[in-house]
Chains A and B, each alone.
Chain A
């Protein structure tokens, strides 16, 4: 690339920038900030900036550009560094761009630049993640993603007002969620959620559908962490119902969290669903629940431990153990009922010990009594246990209540 060509490219960018603003061309404007899209236009601009010694001189050349110098100067520096793979510097400069942009955005009456705001919000998160990778590989503290979170909180504050801009708040919220989930600081989601769900300026139905689905997905996951399964079911089911039916990856991502929630409230998925969305890691768990097979549950959790831990549902799945025990005792009860209907409601603890032994699980009678006591206490079983006789006496009415969409008593 020659100096003349570099000059031409930079000038062309500046013209596009000022033209987009003067004609309120949102579509063009947003493309000017999309660093992470790696568009040939922006990459070649990076090359041009590298060649041209003083692009700031070009910015000062015309009032059309210079009035936006606060945005353009750091943006050029960001583009240059991004092209040269200096990701930390690219992020630092882009953060300045974002701050300058939001100042300008506040002054614009309408929401014409909302698409550009979305791009900046997205890119600041992506660049922060890249910068943190660079920092970590150099033995330094990765802290840019946290800084990006602070910038996005400012964006959220700007959008949270009267006027047409407020529909953009949910997109910013979702990007904040991605940051907090990655950092592990999900308690910070709380204040944003409170704003979205209680502030009078926001009407949830006004937000773009895509953002509502993402919002429900993340808040549903938060409810899973809190083991608030009815709320998690509602939110994740909403996301599933309203997401793009063509996007199998997204459906799969939602189901990965919704299935453990459904299991926790006693609803088992069909195997055809698991096959359709390649969620076969749940097959044996569902089977274990149907059969009352504790060994199978433990094997399934062990076989897919990494996957379940990385997706954050392992602890929820572990708790299904109580339902498996319930199912096991129920099966023993059913078998006894066939043999001797009159005495079916009395199950010797020793029989449960033997059944578990058959499943290759060694458990003494004290522990079985403990399990039985817990099942009764949590209303998974109705009846009482007699320590002296080592027997559990089941209620004659509905001894194994179904969960029917309600979680196990905590």
Chain B
């Protein structure tokens, strides 16, 4: 099947645009304001606001240092020099091989790698891709996520590295305009969706480490995005997706006393603008956070089922089981011993299939039973309850099943 790559349209820009148009169906668009990246038209303003010091520099990619008014001239997704060198070294990712040839690529296939040791001292303009080329490159990379031919982990690995390189090029050129915002939103979205998909395969140790690295880049890229919003701030104007991306930050704090970006949420709230704070998306995230912190599992599940967007779902999904465990703890501890809890009632409460719930209870050290009519029951006051070690098997969240694929 690798020969299929040869059939890709010979026109670079045409194939990019055509491919992107079909991406919308991947996510239910009525559930999220963050539509498919490629569906959004190019912002009408073409003037680039290039400051001499990058607003993204606080989360700079490793050693890269911004320099004044540096504009890239590379017309390809990968600088020619790099492509030729990597062909010689046979250092081509599977997506970059022409007709599957590990020693041959093409301008339409090769994508610039992230460079750990880059320095402005030695970089040339021809090594840097200007904003329009970066935009096309990102569209191409995100289109690869539609691929059915490869494991998600393989696609993720490639897109992870190459989007990091895109951020590197943006930072090196101090691009802080609206186009940069849209691109960063697209990349954050990639990491958010990856957060969920990699979490589904957490039993594999390799995937667990990918998940950890992905979380790192997710938080760094999100922080850079917030800096971009601030640099493009107009009084009382909120960017179309600004509220939703801020809500993702709040939801990342659902973990037990986690501070994914090193900053207490209480301090972070001090800097969020009022229009964002009052937005529907932030009110949702703050309500979920409150329910989580109070332990109100009923409100947590109902609110999530009723209101979560796809991206919010992706961030929250790892915590669904945490809240289920809490619910079981409370019910086991406080339930009436002589009246076991019907599993059917409990499964509705926790938005989980009854058969999955039985497995879930067993995983928590709780035995289930059956009454004379064949109804499954959970006896309470069991002393064998324990918080499960390691990961969970994947259980559906019945409230948002359409998001799970």
Contact = CB atoms under 8 A, between A and B. Distances in A.
B212 interface: no
Given A135-B53, A141-B57, A225-B267, A386 B334 contact: no
B296 A385 contact: no
Given A140-B55, A141-B53, A141-B54, A225 B336 contact: no
B299 interface: yes
A26 interface: no
B266 A184 contact: no
Interface in B168-197: 176
Contacts of A135: 53
Interface in B296-345: 296-299, 302, 327, 329-331, 333-337, 339, 341-342, 345
Contacts of A322: 294
A334 interface: no
A315 B341 contact: no
Contacts of B295: 374, 377-378
Interface stretch (A70-78, A212-220, A387-395): A387-395
A248 interface: no
A376 B330 contact: yes
Interface size for chain B: under 10, 10 to 19, 20 to 34, or 35 or more residues? Answer: 35 or more
A377 B296 contact: no
Interface in A291-325: 305-306, 309-310, 312-316, 318-319, 321-322
Contact of B329 (A309, A377, A393): A377
A17 to B, nearest CB: 34
Interface residues of A, number: 49
A217 B392 CA distance: 42
B170 to A, nearest CB: 14
B294 A186 contact: no
B357 to A, nearest CB: 15
Interface string A329-368: 0000000000000000000000000000000000000110
B339 A139 contact: no
B145 interface: no
A138 B203 CA distance: 49
Nearest to B346: A387
A374 B264 CA distance: 25
Interface in A233-259: none
A373 B332 CA distance: 9
B122 interface: no
Interface in B239-288: 257, 259, 262-272, 274, 277
A371 interface: yes
A346 B316 CA distance: 37
B362 interface: no
B285 to A, nearest CB: 13
A199 interface: no
Interface of A: 135-136, 138-141, 143, 146, 181, 184-187, 224-227, 305-306, 309-310, 312-316, 318-319, 321-322, 366-367, 369-374, 376-378, 383-389, 393
19 contacts: A135-B53, A140-B52, A141-B227, A143-B58, A184-B268, A186-B264, A306-B274, A309-B272, A312-B267, A312-B270, A369-B298, A374-B294, A378-B295, A384-B336, A386-B335, A387-B335, A387-B336, A388-B339, A389-B336
Given A143-B53, A309-B272, A369-B298, 7 more contacts: A184-B263, A185-B263, A225-B267, A315-B265, A386-B336, A387-B336, A393-B336
